Amino acid sequence: MFQIRIHGRGGQGVVTAAEVLSMAAFAQGRTAQAFPSFGSERMGAPVVSFCRIDDHPIRTREPVMEPDALIIQDATLIHQVDLFAGLRREAYVIINTSRTLDQLGLGEFSGQLDPDRLLTCPATEFALEQLGRPLPNAALIAGFAALTGEISLDAIDTAIRQRFGGPVGERNVAAATAAYRFVADARAESAHVAAD
Amino acid sequence: MSTEPVRFYQVGSFAVGNRLLEDRDRTVQSEPRRSNSLDSGHRACQGCGEALGARYALDAAMRATGGRLVAVNATGCLEVFSTPYPESSWRIAWLHSLFGNAPAVATGVAAALRVLGKGDTRVIGQAGDGGAVDIGFGCLSGMFERNDDVLFICYDNEAYMNTGVQRSGATPPAARTATTEAVGRDPGNVFGQGKDLPRIAMAHGVPYVATATVADLHDLERKVERAMEFDGARYLHLLVPCPLGWGSAPSDTIRVARLAQETGLFPVYEAAFGEVTAVSPIRRRMPVEAYLSLQGRYAHLFGEHPRPDVIARIQAMADDNIERYGLLSGYDYGADRGGDEN
Amino acid sequence: MLRQIEGSRAVAETVACCRPQVICAYPISPQTHIIEALSAMVKAGDLTPCEFINVESEFAAMSASIGASAAGARAYTATASQGLLYMIEAVYNASGLGLPIVMTLANRAIGAPINIWNDHSDAMAVRDSGWIQLFAETNQEAADLHILAFRLAEQLSLPVMVCMDGFILTHAVEGIDVAEQGAVDAFLPSYEPRQVLDPDEPVSIGAMVGPEAFEEVRYLAHLRQLEALDLIPALAAEFESMFGRPSAGLLSSYRIEDAETVVVAMGSVLGTIKDAVDARRDEGDRVGVLAITAFRPFPRQAVRDALAGARSIVVVEKAFSIGFGGVLSTDVAMATHDHACSLRTVVAGLGGRPITRRSLEGMLDTAVRDELDTLTFLDLDTGIVEREQLRMAETRRSGPSAEHVLHGLQSGPRPVDRPVP
């Protein structure tokens, strides 16, 4: 079972991100479960959502305590909320930001994780380019797909179109594709660096 | 000088059961084959105004709808005395649920009949003043707001009678009830601003609102039949004296109801979509004493320690109503005769 | 068809397939997605003939359902927590009148303190009302139980509520095989009322019944609920053969055959419990699970039989009778009173407190070693409790307890231990 935890703020589509991820997994014939953890319903409040993906029926209903992957939609949460609780060393982390990890104050922390599995991605920029709105969720889950290989971009696109439909769906697909390429390129580059 | 020929028989008089009336002018009650919706055998007190009012209203509604009628009843005197297990006095389809939900239950019945393609069957919701003015108020307002197709009738005897005569939102000022006793400096119910449910119904803009009393059968029946011509939410506020709670003689029920109208304390009128459309004028104006003195619940205003000041305030309320609704038809017969009653 | 959709959506679509004729609903978290979906279906003409009434309170919602059902229409509503309490007079009225209304109860805690998250206190508040109460473990079950509920309700002339955990199930997106209209039609015939308001055959419904007959009327209602003990398994079997997937019936079990310790529970927590039980089994503990679906009528005999081989029973429940102890536990104790085994109550998940597999495994470990207290509050923060008790003892005007507890808590989620990298 692969467990994902998504952190963000109300209004950023954190809950939708988990849902679309689960729909993408379903599109690939897998079993998936997505659910939110509600704080008060308020724009800007910290929100957490969860997604589990497996090839067997998923029975558990607890929150994701030990995520295999962490998606952080809003970097301002980093020093405000205990985002990294339960994180395992082998976990993947993707952070929505145009800044570096050092600039985010995570330089030291990043040393505790596998460098190949920790990534920043300017998802909001991709969203602004393609959607005209700072809704980074589609881009981020595509970045997650590229980072982990857990889901295909095709499945993500299918799920996005199912969830949004019409031109909004297409624009989200464009943002997702751009983010996917960005992450795939970044990984390829770091692989080259490692190989040298 | 023209003269009218003397007539030796009564034509066009509205005495109940007058055989010389045209059929269309005869009351439903005068018809032996009336539906008797509330049949005899119920356990109401002698002289109960509510039993009278319910019978009048429902029989008129049954005629107006050709017998296609369902009634929803709130908890209260009417419900209790009409259905002493294992008997029922009702000859019509009848449902009692709770005290505060008659309007909502009626809404549900109306919706079901519509969905089932039985829209020709009409719905009446009915409650006492407690079930309409107080505990049922929220549901009633919701029914008005949605304009649900229900005629709601409030039988107003101005207190919670079935539980022992406690004060309700409809209890008039100075009236004695078990929770507004005739003791202390201001005996009886307080002088508040009241809760004018007919006007509140009008404020919801519903198609038809009317007030009536059991003293004028023709008027009451006409209003029920008129209400049945409309679709949507309709409201009828019916004054029904309670001999037990009001401390009036059982034989005085109709007289007391008539006096309520003739003093101006209970304005009788019709309204549509928020505007008063017709008023029953006071043919012979009476001073409020004539009305109050017949009721034990106002006894403390007379007798050993009379309260002319309180009576004057009540008179002022009556005067306000007369002015507001234009209740005097022009010629005040009462002024001529010094106000003695019939 | 298997679809990845939200639990609430699946319930709404399934209810729509049951052809309700009057839906009266008032919104309350976490039921809103269900009634919003149904409202849209009616408005778009996809669910017809059906009247959707936007009532002004939950009291009106149940009341209008009563009127609709009495007039011969299939009636449905949904609520939770405070809304259920607001309509409680009408809830008792509906069952007393024998009206087959079906209601979804999106289980939520009851305030004060106000809390919008999941526990079973709302369902427990009406367990004596005469309604049949069915608890869903998964969203698949939640959707399917509604089909069963309408059939059950109308056959017995009793109202039925389907309980599903608020947020945990209502707002979870998972793979659900939503029933097709044809299949539902084959299982659920149109509503034939036992009593109906009909001007052609007028009856009086809702009479006052005095001491001379009230006991008998209540007893007859009790007998009718007991009929459900046979009818539910029969309908479950029919459902299975018709829809090709299981229906739990009164209860179901997991790895119970040779279990010494059996965990009894209801609702979504059963999923996490089964994972915890698997983990303990891997450690060699002989643990099993009894999942109760029908809470009312309580399947005493079936529970007794299922627990016959257990040495120790642990009831994990999301409800609590303040000043006493567990609610489900009391029923289970009654059912097994002549069986020599220990019974422990574990109250968990109150007000939406997450129930983790780790905590459950720890609790099971303690239970297996016979060291579990009679009553345990899982993951209780004794530090908070002690601090608050000290604070209250210091001064008479100590202020509202709940607010001070919150103040004492550091803001944000409870800290979770970080693993050593």
Mean pLDDT of C397-411: 79
Q: What CATH number does the domain located at A2-195 have?
A: 3.40.920.10
Q: In whole angstroms, how far apart are CA B61 and each of A190, B36, B125?
A: 86, 11, 12
Does residue C261 belong to the interface with chain B, where contact is any CB pair within 8 Å? no
Q: In this complex, is the C-beta atom of A38 within 8 Å of any C-beta atom belonging to chain C?
A: yes
Q: Do chains B and A touch (3 or more CB pairs under 8 A)?
A: no
What token pair was written down for C101? 């209304």
Q: Do B112 and C22 touch (CB under 8 A)?
A: yes
- The answer to whether residues C134 and C164 touch, using CB atoms and an 8 Å cutoff, is no
The answer to whether the Cβ–Cβ distance between C272 and A61 falls below 8 Å is yes
Domain boundaries defined on chain B: 23-337
Rounded to two decimals, what is the model's pTM? Answer: 0.92
The yes/no answer on whether domain C251-377 falls in CATH 3.10.150.10 is: no
**Shortest CA gap B261–chain C (Å):** 34
User: How is chain C split into domains, by residue range?
Assistant: 2-243, 251-377
Closest chain C residue by Cα to residue B62: C199
C-alpha–C-alpha distance, residues A127 and A176, integer Å = 8
Minimum Cα–Cα distance from B139: chain C residue:
C60
Picking from C116, C272, C412, the nearest residue to A62 by CB comes out as C272
pLDDT at C186: 98
The pLDDT profile of chain B, 342 residues, written as one tens digit per residue, is 677 777 666 566 666 555 677 777 889 998 889 999 999 999 999 999 999 999 999 999 999 999 999 999 999 999 999 998 889 999 999 999 999 999 999 999 999 999 999 999 999 999 999 999 999 999 999 999 999 999 999 999 999 999 999 999 999 999 999 999 999 899 999 999 999 999 999 999 999 999 999 999 999 999 999 999 999 999 999 999 999 999 999 999 999 999 999 999 999 999 999 999 999 999 899 999 999 999 999 999 998 999 999 999 999 999 999 999 999 966 555 554 444 444
Gap between the Cα atoms of C203 and C201, Å rounded:
7
Work out the average pLDDT over C156-172.
Answer: 97
In the numeric block, which tokens belong to residue B313? 């305030």
A129 has pLDDT over 90: yes
Q: What average pLDDT score do residues C398-415 get?
A: 71
Identify the bridge partners of residue C263 per DSSP, sorted by sequence position: C289, C314
pLDDT exceeds cutoff 50 at C421: no
Instruction: Please answer whether residues B140 and B169 qualify as being in contact, where contact means their C-beta atoms are separated by less than 8 angstroms.
Output: no
Per-residue pLDDT, B341: 47
**Residue contact B86–C22, C-beta within 8 A:** no
User: Comparing C-alpha atoms, which of C347, C333, C285, C339 is closest to residue C310?
Assistant: C339
What DSSP designation does C307 have?
Answer: T
- Work out the mean pLDDT of chain B and round it to a whole number: 92
Q: Rg (Cα) of chain C, in Å, rounded? A: 22
C-alpha B160/C-alpha C133 separation (Å) is: 36
Q: Which of B68, B100, B108 sits opposite C67 (nearest CB)?
A: B108
Q: What is the mean pLDDT of chain A?
A: 92
The CATH code belonging to domain C2-243 is: 3.40.50.970
Find all residues with CB under 8 Å of C132, minimum gap 6, and list them.
C149, C152, C153, C156, C158, C159, C160, C161, C225, C228, C294, C296, C297
Q: Which residues of A touch C358 (CB under 8 A)?
A: 65
Average pLDDT over residues C198-206: 96
pLDDT tens-digit profile of C308-353? 999 999 999 999 999 999 999 999 999 999 988 999 999 999 999 9
Share of chain C above pLDDT 70, in %: 97
Domains C2-243 and C251-377 share a fold: yes
Q: How far apart are CA C271 and CA B246, in angstroms?
A: 65
For residue C275, pLDDT over 90 is answered with: yes
Q: Is the pLDDT of residue C172 over 90?
A: yes
pLDDT of the residue at C196: 96
Using CB atoms, list chains with 3+ pairs below 8 Å to chain C: A, B
The span from the CA of C15 to the CA of C179, in Å, is: 10
Closest to C169 measured CA to CA, from C298, C279, C266: C266
- C-alpha to C-alpha distance for C173 and C151, rounded to whole angstroms: 27
Is it the case that residue C415 has pLDDT exceeding 80? no
Among B83, B105, B204, pick the best mutation site for testing chain C contact (most C Cβ within 10 A). B105
What class, spelled out in words, does domain B23-337 have in CATH?
alpha beta
Parse chain A into domains and list their residue ranges: 2-195
Q: Could you give the CA distance from residue C391 to residue C382 in angstroms, rounded to a whole number? A: 14
